[in-house]
C-alpha cells in the first residue's frame, strides 16, 4: 500500500468513526457513571468486535452474510432487540448511591462484554467494514501484507476515537452528583438505545456496497 493510499484510508476511517452512536454513547455513559479509567474497558470490547468484523471481511464471511437476506435480517433484529433491552434496563434502573462514580459499579468483564455485544450486533458494521476495506485491498498483492497495515491502523484509530468519547463522559461526573440527575441520565441514555433499536428494526437497511456508510453507530 502506498503512503498516499494509507493516508486516504486514515482520513476515511477517522471521519466515518466519529459520529455519535450506540458505541460512543456507551463510552460516555460508562465514563460518567463508573469513571474514566474503568470506561477504557469499553474500548477493549469495541476493538474486539472491530477485529471480528475485519476478520469476517477478510475471510469473506461478510460477503456471504450480505448475499443472504434472511441471515442479514436475523442479525439486524438481534441487534435491535439488544439495544431495546439495554434501553429498558436503564429506564428501570434506580440510582441510590451517594457518588456518581460509584452509582454503577461494573466489573471490567461486564463492561467489555456489553461493549462487545453493542458493537458486534450492529448489522451496519458488516456493510461498512466490507465497503471500506474492499476499496483499499489490492488484489494483485499479498492479502496478509496489506492486512498487517490496515488492521492495526483501523484498530488504533477506533481506540483513539472512543477514548475521546470516554474523556467526554468524564466531564459529566459533576452533573451526575445527585440521584435525580443520575436517574434522568439513565433514562436519557435508555431512550436513545430504545430509539436506536426501534429505528434499526424498522428501517430497511440495503446491503449495498455502492456507498461507503459510517463505520461506527
C-alpha cell at 97: 448511591
DSSP 22: H
Contact between 112 and 155 under an 8 Å Cβ cutoff? The reply is no
Query: Domain boundaries in the chain?
Result: 3-202
Cα Dmax for the chain: 61
- Among residues of the chain, what percentage have pLDDT more than 70? 64
Contact between 79 and 122 under an 8 Å Cβ cutoff? The reply is yes
Query: Using one digit for the tens of pLDDT, what is the confidence trace for 133-183?
Result: 767 766 667 767 778 888 899 999 999 999 999 998 888 766 666 667 667
For the entire predicted model, the pTM comes to 0.69
| Residue 43 confidence (pLDDT) | 95
Question: What are the angstrom distances between the C-alpha of 205 and each of 20, 25, 70, 199, 209?
Answer: 19, 22, 12, 10, 12
Residue, of 29 and 96, whose pLDDT is higher: 29
| Residue 8 confidence (pLDDT) | 84
Amino acid at each position: 500500500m502506498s503512503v498516499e493510499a494509507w493516508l486516504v484510508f486514515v482520513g476515511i476511517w477517522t471521519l466515518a468513526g466519529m459520529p455519535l452512536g450506540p458505541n460512543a454513547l456507551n463510552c460516555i455513559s460508562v465514563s460518567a457513571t463508573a469513571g474514566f479509567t474503568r470506561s477504557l474497558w469499553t474500548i477493549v470490547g469495541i476493538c474486539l468486535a472491530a477485529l471480528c468484523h475485519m476478520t469476517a471481511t477478510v475471510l469473506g464471511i461478510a460477503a456471504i452474510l450480505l448475499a443472504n437476506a434472511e441471515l442479514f435480517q436475523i442479525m439486524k433484529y438481534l441487534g435491535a432487540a439488544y439495544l431495546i433491552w439495554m434501553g429498558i434496563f436503564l429506564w428501570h434502573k434506580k440510582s441510590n448511591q451517594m457518588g456518581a462514580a460509584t452509582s454503577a459499579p461494573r466489573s471490567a468483564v461486564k463492561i467489555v462484554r456489553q461493549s462487545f455485544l453493542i458493537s458486534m450486533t450492529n448489522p451496519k458494521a458488516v456493510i461498512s467494514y466490507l465497503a471500506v476495506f474492499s476499496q483499499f485491498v489490492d488484489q494483485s498483492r499479498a492479502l496478509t501484507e496489506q492486512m498487517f497495515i490496515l488492521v492495526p491502523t483501523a484498530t488504533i484509530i477506533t481506540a483513539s476515537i472512543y477514548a475521546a468519547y470516554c474523556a467526554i463522559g468524564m466531564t459529566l461526573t459533576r452533573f451526575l452528583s445527585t440521584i435525580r440527575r443520575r436517574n434522568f441520565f439513565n433514562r436519557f441514555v435508555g431512550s436513545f438505545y430504545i430509539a436506536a433499536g426501534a429505528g434499526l428494526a424498522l428501517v430497511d437497511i440495503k446491503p449495498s456496497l455502492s456507498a461507503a456508510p459510517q463505520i461506527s453507530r
